[in-house]
Structure 1
């Protein structure tokens, strides 16, 4: 009898495990299908994501103007044009000083290459001029042999730039419409959904919007910290073009990993060609220290507080997003993780049983 009872319990446990495994497989298949559809629609989704990020960044100014009596279209147009002019001004702020000192920087690059050649010709490398010439000749021969690959890569690069311009234009148009018609979205969504979904989905969407705004503001604050500290270090060392480099650092902070590497490379290169290798090493040390503090201390702390995520979750989300989708994955990993946390928190609130207060016990006076 006991053996039969144990066998029945074992079969029941196996059936439960098999059912749970089947459910997990179905969930994984649905997730894979959703990711495939997302990748197929990515040329449309990516401008939408950028437009949302820009709208959350510029919405406080739009809300301020609308509260002062501005019409929605006028407020959105003003903010969009201001953003475009500010972006173009930032590019000019970086490009004009660099162009003004282009001759000096070019001469510094040539001097740096000459110093590197002299250093390589001495001990311990002892590389002679004939070896350098031979290496250059072989490099030229390789370039001539792979001219077809270079042309195809150039065409691909031009196509990528064109796609980037199209994406930027679409994102700006979407940003304008989000700023203009954003407050109408939730009431419209409420009218379109049936039953309880008319309440739940708009509530989740509103929380996700607030979370996305917190992410963009915290990222902007982190970029400001990077720009201030790195700019201050460059000013102390005496590196030229401090203001353009600080602006470049702030803008690059919105592109995780690669943005910081690019801004740091530009700063070290300018320090090398203008001040020499010693100051370049000092600038490199400053950038490494600031980036380590930003990546491991400031960013996780700020984003964990503003998004309601633990600092470890933020770090893991960025790592996972970068491994799955590169720079794009690193950029959207944290807000996606925060939105998942928002949806889970809302579901837990709705599915949890309400706390029942104890019923007071009636007492009778004894005679």
Structure 2
């Protein structure tokens, strides 16, 4: 019928377009796969550590010189108290943030208010940056309702963030370790650049551990300065 060349041309163009799509999407799919793999590894590592922590504690202390055993044991105790307090305070903060966000978005008539509230509560574990990330999808969905709803959604997230920063966050620091806010912010940014989303998620607890270990091992033991260690 004389259509052979046209059909072949269309097939070749289709193959080129499909190859372009695959080459563009491939790196993103690889990054998502790597992120999920790392997350699963971290979860299983946490389960193994939590199942029998004394095994790893004794193994670590076996590697420490005899004269430093007392300092190492005290450091592990400091890290445990800091993380324990942070987890308790953060759990309360996440529940409060999720509940307030859910209720506020429901009153404003924003679609999927419950899901957005859960996202806000989960992202509350990321200091300072988490509320901003959680607010983006909420504002975009609010625009589907009306621009005024989007405006009040921004106001809602600002109010919740002020409550979290001025009340909930000090409560968490009181329960855990009083880490300077600037140090916490820079640690989140550095962990994100070095380790990606997983680093951002783990930045706060890792910063707490490094903070108390620096106080105990470096400032008090090596420098000999009388510094107050939280939880003592």
TM-score by shorter chain over 0.5: yes
- Alignment pair present for 1:232 and 2:103: yes
Structure 1's unaligned 5+ residue stretches are 1-145, 355-367
Cα distance in 2, alignment partners of residues 224 and 241 from structure 1: 18
Query: Which residue of structure 2 lines up, in the alignment, with residue 317 of structure 1?
Result: 183
Please say if 1:286 is aligned against 2:156. yes
Deviates more, 1:325-334 or 1:297-306: 325-334
Paired residues of 2:101 and 2:157 also in contact (CA < 8 A) = yes
Contact persistence 1:223–1:250 (CA under 8 A) = yes
Question: Structure 2 CA distance, aligned partners of 1:270 and 1:343?
Answer: 44
Q: Deviations over 1:236-274 (max 9, x none)?
A: 22334322221121112223455423322222233322x
Task: Tell me the equivalent position of 1:109.
Answer: none
1:305 CA displacement? 1.0
* 1:163 CA displacement: 0.2
For the 8 Å contact 2:100–2:160, the answer to whether it is kept is: yes
Check the 8 A contact 1:192/1:198 in 2, yes or no: no
Once the two structures are superposed, the pairs formed by residues 52-63 of structure 1 within 5 Å of their partners are: none
Q: 1:316-361 CA deviation, whole Å, 9 max, x = no partner?
A: 113322443436665455444433442344345557599xxxxxxx
Identify which of structures 1 and 2 has the higher relative contact order when contacts are C-alpha pairs closer than 8 Å and 6+ apart: 2
Count of residues in correspondence between the two structures? 204
Gaps of 5+ in 2: 1-16, 227-232
Larger radius of gyration between Structure 1 and Structure 2 = 1
> Deviations along 1:47-67, whole A, 9 cap, x unmatched?
xxxxxxxxxxxxxxxxxxxxx
Partner residue in 2 for 1:218: 89
Assess, with a 3 A threshold, how the Cα gap between structure 1 residues 188 and 207 changes in structure 2: closer, same or farther: same
Residue correspondence of structure 1 range 324-339 to structure 2 within 5 A? 324-326=190-192, 331-339=201-209
* Aligned mates of 2:212, 2:129 — CA distance in 1: 29
Alpha-carbon distance between aligned partners in 2 of 1:325 and 1:190, rounded to the nearest angstrom: 28
Q: 1:259 to 1:341 in 2, by over 3 A?
A: closer
Give deviations 1:58-98, integer Å, cap 9, x for gaps: xxxxxxxxxxxxxxxxxxxxxxxxxxxxxxxxxxxxxxxxx
Separation of aligned partners in 2, 1:300 and 1:254: 10
Task: State yes or no: 1:180 paired with 2:51.
Answer: yes
1:165 alignment partner in structure 2: 36
In the TM superposition, residue 180 of structure 1 has moved relative to its aligned partner by: 1.7
TM-superposed CA distance for 1:178, in Å, is 0.9
CA distance in 1, matches of 2:23, 2:126: 27
Kindly state the Cα deviation for residue 174 of structure 1 after the two structures are TM-superposed.
0.9
Describe the SS at the equivalent of 2:52.
Answer: helix
Secondary structure in 2 matching 1:196: helix
Contact 1:190 1:198 in 2 (8 A): yes
Q: Does residue 301 of the first structure (1) align with residue 170 of the second (2)? A: yes
Q: 1:193 to 1:318 in 2, by over 3 A?
A: closer
Q: Please state how far the C-alpha of 1:181 moved relative to its aligned partner.
A: 2.0
Distance 1:206 1:241, change over 3 A: same
Residue pair 1:256, 1:331 contacting (<8 A) in 2 also: no
Deviations 1:187-215 (A, max 9, x none): 33334433122332232122212212322
